[in-house]
Structure 1
Amino acid sequence: MIFLDKGLERLLDRYIREHCEKQKQHGIMATAGFLIGSKLNDDFHLAHIALNYLQNGDSYSKLIDAEWISDTGARVLRLLPGGLTIVGLLWLAGPKNSLQSAEIRAMLVRALAHILVNHNALNTVLVDGCLRSRDEPLKPRDKKASGKNKFHIETFLDVTVPSKATVGQAVDAVKEHIIRTLCSRAEIHYESTDVVEDEPNDRVSVHQLPRPGFASLPSQPAIVFTDYLFESDTASDAQQSFADLLTLTIPEDEIEIDSERLLDEGDLYSIVSDDEKPSRVERSSSSTSSLSSVVLPPIRKGTKKLPVNMYAIVAALVALLSFVVYILMKALSS
């Protein structure tokens, strides 16, 4: 059974009207959307519906394929809190491109399967490069265990589960959120990293992961979406992402972007040792990178800097040796 949150029926009616208008004006083939929610037992709880719009000016704007839907779906997944995922696809089309077409059904199945495969991959962890069973001992028990390891981690996050969810489902949502946000931030950072060849040896680069920007679903404030921003990005950039990927219009002042602090010059200065304090700190001017660098003093390997008085003694010895050689040459010439 499918349960809709309040307001979704009106939202769906609005999407249908907008699709009909675009179909008349631009002749689009269909409109795809993402059903965002959670699965509890055999029931689906829908919290939001986001449309997968195509650009009007695109020469291929009349075409929708599985790759376009799955790529956009992967970006939508990055914004969702733990406990929410894409549980299905919405398809708005006329009779010629309806779900009665085997080709259309196959295309949507491929797109949804690709999204779900990526989603399931978030729950998979390799231990020492191997996929191991959850019930398998972490280490072979051929030796008596000794020692004790203690980890203390404190984290704050928002996840979403249905009102009838169990404790286990809430715990799984927390784990999913942690894995999703770490993977998303690392993936976005990797995609935006500038490859710099022949970088000077006197420079240490510090890469910072994108910081989160939070916004609540207007109809359900307890559901918090997350966008990821680079150093020079603002709330306006997050606002655009929420509009493009989630079909949400959120005022800038309702988007929180200050929950995490970026490293400042003082932090970068303290990274290196006291003997190699940087002469200056540089920050990237790119809007798609969180890269900073510190320029270190010249590095001398295996040598020690001579004091000033040692230079004076060496200079005096060289001068004396030159004078002796001069006297000997004069004597020989006589």
Structure 2
Amino acid sequence: MANLIKKDIQKIFNYYEPALPKSLSRINKLLKLLGKPHFRLEKIIHIAGTNGKGSVLTFLKSCLFHNNLTVNALISPHLLRINERIVIKNNFVKDKILIDALNRCDNQLKRNEITFFEVITACGFDLFSQFPADWNILEVGLGGRYDSTNVIPKKNVAVITPISFDHENYLGEDILSIAKEKFGIVNKATPVVIGKQKKEIVEYISKNKFFKKNKIFMYDKHWVVKESQGKFIYEDEKDSIEIRAPHMIGSHQIMNAGLSIATLRFLKKNNDLRIEDQIIKKGIMNAKLLGRLEILKGRISKKLNNSEIWIDGCHNPSGANAIAKAMKSINSKDTKK
């Protein structure tokens, strides 16, 4: 595999299975052969949910960066290059480092069946143990319970973004079945911060003794977010923060920003993090993520004559509704000008 990877690292998709039955056994076996690097990781934020995972990760990473901390991260999917899936100390992994990590994994596999996502996750854990950062942020690829990132034995906090219908053939046909798969990243010892959820999921959480009162920080019960004329206000039981609307457009991004603030403040409350509100404000306002309701610029825009091309990576009904709402708001503002 090494020679072809050196020729084009972006073609490694072709080497592994696209999908296999739900199981953590394959990645656990590979990680054992690599010396269990995931057991050496500390300071972990684990993010699951249907929509907003990448945006929440981006907000968190920006806030931690502005707090003079380094971040390693596993991100999926990538937009342009596979390197975007692994962040080492605030930067996308370099080709040479990624190639070496992939070769280490491949040398252990001996042609065993394994998925691309399992391999790239193992590479990430291997690199995180070699290049330790102040924080490790893990974004679930699919579901949660059987996701490759869920081999981490202990985490400082789990974050659950809004849950809706997606990948029903894999996660379940009804919303509670899907939610239970997402909540699979939470164990009894894991503090959890929960974003805005559907009524059925809120009722499930409130009736489930698994979610201990001192371990949960939930939207509309412990924290809220309110929009107000180009800014938003985050409030919890201790304090409030007023912040200018982030670069990322849409009410859904304000909710993602709020969930990120709730996570940081919950970590602070649990004495896992020292961070001031001014740093949080700076991090939220400066966070940027390509491919999230982004207007294309450059040569193509010059040929459009008063037209625009906007792109977004949403891929399910709930995401499409959020983008439609944001575009309607943008058009309404343009009409008033």
Name the TM-score class by shorter chain.
under 0.3
Higher relative contact order (CA 8 A, sep 6+): 2
Structure whose residues are more often helix by fraction: 2
Higher gyration radius (CA): 1
TM (norm. structure 2) is 0.25
| Larger strand share, 1 or 2 | 1
